[in-house]
């Protein structure tokens, strides 16, 4: 992306996290200046301290360390946020295991800590399958061309997968909307972590915080919006009356943590009255965050490019599993299976095969990266549609820097990591405290209707 000549960010320090912060900001077109500062922790020690290591690997074996410096990259994204004037989390790497802390999750080997995703062996390789929704289980007989009783549980699914090739499974999963991802090798080179389409006029550097519409759900998008709210943005969370954010059904403490600073509007997208409110909200907005496949938005008459083009300075953030350019109808993805598709499971594999790397790690990684991109582009004058994918961001972070040499010792429940420059215990997952309770669903709908005179 092109940047304004006056834009410059200062990143102090040396090591993997500092280098990653400079990389992200440089990719966004900012001039970056290095300054003296402390040396970053060794990537293996950063992983041990983050809480993510404690939920990686088998429960009765030593926890695993990925080949790529994932915790250092999360820390670097936080450093990048701070360098562009946003309020970064005190410990960005701890966000990788934050949900696990609030849900009481633990490592389970080839079952994701959250339980909805598993690593299974197909005829010609490993893959991740997520069954998070009732519709997923109902689709299994059609997907596998098997009788319903034969695939009613995980054991039956595992037997059927073992008989079929990955390519056949993946293609049918795409069309049936099932989150299925062959386990990719850990990437050797860094892929793009975003693509930018300059489809609207740029504005002058803003003198106010943006109004942000958060159409996203679950984790990555809401985390991005929460970080923008921390930076001073006014954030309005928008949900469909027929399909509220699924995260509302989980631990309230986690939902509060990433939604507390947002107003809440719940709309009947098919009703004329609420469609008028939706149009007014779009007309008033500066930034939109969404996590839907483009086809779903088109059905609502929502056009990202048109939104950006309608007024100078606007930014659109699209967060999907595999990017807006993914072949139709677009693959469904969640944080666990998208990370497997990016190579994270191979990056922590044991001698017998891939293992889950932390808890849906693609989600917090992508949320952090999306916040950096959104805030940087807003400050630079907008006029851009930013496309980030769970898979692409995770692959980029995995490939950025090697973890390097390390040694893990101790026991399954009390492990330590030793590297050339020091030693760290494997910390348990931990979470920030929510600043307040999240607003109840639709608590601000009528107030917004009055404010916008619709």
Tell me, what's the pLDDT at 149? 65
Whole-angstrom CA distances from 431 to 68, 118, 159, 213 are 23, 25, 38, 25
Within-domain flag for 253: yes
How confident is the model over 183-218, as pLDDT tens digits? 999 998 878 899 999 999 999 989 899 999 999 999
Phi, psi of 426 (to 5 degrees): -80, 110
Question: What global pTM score does this model have?
Answer: 0.96
Distance between CA 320 and CA 221 in Å, rounded?
9
Tell me, what's the pLDDT at 201? 95
Structure tokens at 174: 């795409």
User: How many domains is the chain partitioned into structurally?
Assistant: 1
Whole-angstrom CA distances from 53 to 63, 113, 348, 394, 408 are 6, 12, 10, 16, 11
How confident is the model over 282-337, as pLDDT tens digits? 999 999 999 987 777 777 778 999 999 999 999 999 999 999 999 988 999 999 99
Asked if residue 30 lies in contact with residue 6, where contact means CB atoms within 8 angstroms, the answer is no
Asked if residue 173 lies in contact with residue 326, where contact means CB atoms within 8 angstroms, the answer is no
Distance between CA 146 and CA 157 in Å, rounded?
10
Within-domain flag for 321: yes
Tell me, what's the pLDDT at 1? 54
Within-domain flag for 179: no
Within-domain flag for 204: yes
Residue 34 CA, chain-centre distance (Å), reads 28
Distance between CA 398 and CA 65 in Å, rounded?
12
Within-domain flag for 434: yes
- 267: domain CATH number is 3.40.50.10540
Location of structure tokens 């994204």: 77
What's the domain range around 42?
8-106+188-329+357-446
Distance between CA 287 and CA 212 in Å, rounded?
5
Within-domain flag for 166: no
How much is the CA Rg of the chain, to the nearest whole Å?
21
Give percent of the chain with pLDDT exceeding 90: 89
The full DSSP string for 351-419 is TTB----TTTTHHHHHHHHHHHHHHHHHHTT--EEEEEEHHHHHHHHHHHSB--S-EEEEETTEEEEEE
How confident is the model over 224-242, as pLDDT tens digits? 999 999 999 999 999 999 9
Distance between CA 406 and CA 425 in Å, rounded?
13
Within-domain flag for 232: yes
Largest Cα separation within the chain, whole Å, is 65
Smallest Cα–Cα separation from 155: which of 196, 120, 206, 207?
A: 120
Listed in sequence order, the residues at least 6 apart from 213 whose beta carbon sits closer than 8 Å to its beta carbon are: 236, 238, 281, 282, 285, 287, 288, 289
Asked if residue 177 lies in contact with residue 332, where contact means CB atoms within 8 angstroms, the answer is yes
Asked if residue 235 lies in contact with residue 264, where contact means CB atoms within 8 angstroms, the answer is no
Within-domain flag for 280: yes
Per-residue pLDDT tens listing for the chain (454 residues): 544 435 689 999 999 999 999 999 999 999 999 999 999 999 999 999 999 999 999 999 999 999 999 999 999 999 999 999 999 999 999 999 999 999 999 999 999 999 999 999 999 999 999 999 999 999 999 999 987 667 878 999 999 999 999 999 999 999 999 999 999 999 988 788 999 999 999 999 898 999 999 999 999 999 999 999 999 999 999 999 999 999 998 889 999 999 999 999 999 988 989 999 999 999 999 999 999 877 777 777 789 999 999 999 999 999 999 999 999 889 999 999 999 999 999 999 999 999 999 999 999 999 999 999 999 999 999 999 999 999 999 999 999 999 999 999 999 999 999 998 899 999 999 999 988 999 999 999 999 999 999 8
């Amino acid at each position: 992306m092109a940047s304004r000549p006056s834009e410059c960010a200062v990143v102090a320090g040396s090591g993997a996290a500092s280098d990653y912060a400079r990389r992200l900001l440089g990719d966004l077109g900012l001039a970056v200046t290095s300054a003296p500062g402390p040396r970053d922790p060794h990537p293996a020690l950063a992983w041990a301290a983050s809480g993510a290591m404690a939920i990686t690997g088998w429960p009765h074996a030593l926890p695993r360390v990925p080949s790529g410096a994932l915790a250092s990259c999360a820390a670097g994204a936080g450093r990048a946020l701070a360098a562009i004037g946003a309020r970064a989390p005190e410990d960005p790497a701890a966000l990788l295991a934050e949900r696990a802390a609030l849900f009481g999750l633990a490592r389970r080997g080839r079952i994701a800590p959250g339980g909805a995703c598993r690593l299974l062996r197909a005829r010609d390789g490993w893959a991740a399958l997520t069954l998070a929704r009732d519709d997923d289980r109902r689709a299994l007989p059609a997907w596998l061309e098997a009788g319903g009783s034969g695939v009613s549980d995980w054991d039956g699914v595992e037997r059927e997968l073992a008989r079929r090739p990955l390519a056949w499974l993946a293609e049918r999963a795409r069309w049936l909307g099932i989150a299925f991802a062959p386990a990719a090798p850990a990437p050797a080179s860094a892929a793009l972590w975003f693509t930018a389409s300059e489809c609207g006029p740029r504005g002058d550097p803003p003198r106010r915080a943006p109004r942000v519409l958060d159409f996203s759900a679950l984790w990555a998008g809401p985390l991005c919006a929460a970080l923008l709210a921390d930076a001073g943005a006014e954030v309005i969370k928008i949900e469909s009356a027929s399909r509220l954010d699924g995260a509302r059904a989980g631990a309230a403490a986690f939902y509060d943590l990433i939604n507390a600073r947002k107003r809440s509007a719940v709309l009947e997208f098919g009703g004329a009255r609420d469609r008028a409110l939706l149009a007014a909200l779009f007309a008033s907005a500066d930034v939109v965050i969404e996590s839907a496949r483009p086809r779903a938005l088109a059905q609502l008459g929502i056009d990202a490019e048109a939104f950006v083009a309608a007024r100078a300075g606007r930014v659109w953030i699209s967060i999907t599993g595999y990017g807006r350019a993914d072949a139709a109808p677009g693959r469904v993805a969640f944080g666990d299976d998208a990370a497997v598709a990016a190579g994270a499971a191979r990056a922590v594999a044991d001698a017998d095969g891939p293992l889950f790397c932390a808890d849906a790690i693609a989600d917090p990684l992508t949320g952090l990266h999306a916040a950096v991109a959104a805030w940087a582009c807003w400050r630079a004058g907008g006029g851009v549609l930013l496309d980030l994918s769970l898979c692409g961001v995770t692959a980029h972070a995995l490939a950025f820097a090697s973890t390097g040499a390390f040694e893990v010792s101790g026991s399954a429940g009390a492990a330590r990591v030793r590297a050339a420059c020091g030693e760290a215990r494997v910390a348990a997952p931990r979470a920030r405290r929510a600043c307040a309770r999240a607003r109840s669903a639709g608590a601000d709908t009528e107030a917004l209707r009055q404010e916008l005179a619709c």
